[in-house]
Amino acid sequence: MWLGLKRRLQFRLLRDPAFRFLFDPPPPGEYVSIDCETTGLNTRKDDIVTVAAVCIRGNRILTSERFEAMVKPKAKLSPDAIKVHRLREQDVADGRSIDDVLPELLRFIGSRPLVGFYLEFDVAMLNRHVRRLLGIGLPNEQIEVSGIYYERKYAGAPPGTEVDLRFMSILNDLRLPSWAQHDAYSDALMTAMMYLKLEDLKARDVRIPRGKAKPAAFYGGGG
């Protein structure tokens, strides 16, 4: 009910009627897995470098219709960020303006729910520009894969259980293949796979075993 109210409000605030499709009922069984690589981790100051999205339909990841774009950031690439995604200034110099990329991305996503890992961050990065364009943030439903993973693995865990929600840990725990991480498309794809597997586990009511607590670190001799 509250969500309905919020959506109605957003709909009224939508500046450009050409984007009303964002409020259409989503096609059943379809989701969009999305990931951004950025100049840094500050959602107010940093900028998007690459954005990738891939549609999920039923049990399929439609990689044949993927969305990938390189964006020329306004902000400087931070040295730390370059280490993460290995994109340097000269690599993104050919990127397009976010204002060109965004309408295409929005049309790709449509009204489908978004799936992501730490999706909050990607949505916040996008929303800065989406707000400028539309007057509102992305109205799409948001599904956090680490949330589903937590529920499948740690729900009801005794207090003090060490919780590991790192991307690679989840991927390995779900025994999914891993490819070059920190490439927006690869990350979006791996996230989509996590989602399909987690949804399947949920549907079959399978829980992820927690196993025995491992020692937090290995205290080896020497220095």
Partner 1 sequence: MAQHFDPRNAPFDRLSEDEIGVVRDSLDIAYYRPNETILAADAAPESLFIVIKGVVEERDGDDLIALRGPGDMFDSRAVVQGKSSGAFVAREETLCNLLPRAVTLGLINQNPRFASFFYLDIAHKLDTVSREEEGARFTPLLGARVGDLFLHPAIFADATETVAEAGALMREHKTYALFVTDDKGVGIVTRSDLLGAALDDRQALDGPIGPLAHRPVIGIEPDDLVTTALLRMTKHNKRRLAVGRDGQFVGLLEDIDLLSFLAGNSQLVGGRIDRSRRVADLARAARGIEPQIRLLRRQGVKVDLVCEIVSDLNRRLLHKLYALVAPTSVREAGCFFVMGSEGRGEQTFRTDQDNGLILAGEVPEADLDKFRKDVFDALELCGFPPCPGEVMVRNPVWSKTLDAYRDDFAAWLATSDETGMMNIAIFYDSEAAAGDGKLLKAAKQDLIDLMHGERLRLARFARAIDAFPTPIGFFNNLVTSKAEGDALDLKKGGIFPIVHGVRALALEKGLFETSTTARVAKLAELGVFDSQFARELTQALHYLMTIRLDAQIAEKASTSLVKPAELSTMDRDLLRDAFQVVKRLRDMLRRHFNLAMF
Binding residues (CB under 8 A) for partner 1: these are 59-64, 175-177, 179-180, 183, 185-186, 189, 192-193, 196-197, 200, 203-204
* Of residues 163 and 206, the one with the C-beta less far from partner 1: 206
Helix axes 145-154, 184-203, angle to 10 degrees: 40
* Of residues 66 and 129, the one with the C-beta less far from partner 1: 66
Least distance (Å) between residue 191 CB and partner 1? 12
Least distance (Å) between residue 181 CB and partner 1? 11
* Of residues 47 and 187, the one with the C-beta less far from partner 1: 187
Least distance (Å) between residue 169 CB and partner 1? 17
* Of residues 60 and 207, the one with the C-beta less far from partner 1: 60
What is the distance between the alpha carbons of residues 191 and 63, in angstroms, rounded to a whole number?
13
If one counts every other C-beta atom within 10 angstroms of the C-beta of residue 49, the result is 24
Determine contact, residues 161/213, Cβ cutoff 8 Å.
yes
Helices (H) and strands (E) in the chain, counts: 8, 6
Least distance (Å) between residue 151 CB and partner 1? 18
Least distance (Å) between residue 80 CB and partner 1? 24
* Of residues 203 and 216, the one with the C-beta less far from partner 1: 203
Output the six-digit token pair for 212: 């025995």
Q: Are strands 60-61 and 30-38 parallel, antiparallel or unpaired?
A: unpaired
What is the distance between the alpha carbons of residues 22 and 135, in angstroms, rounded to a whole number?
13
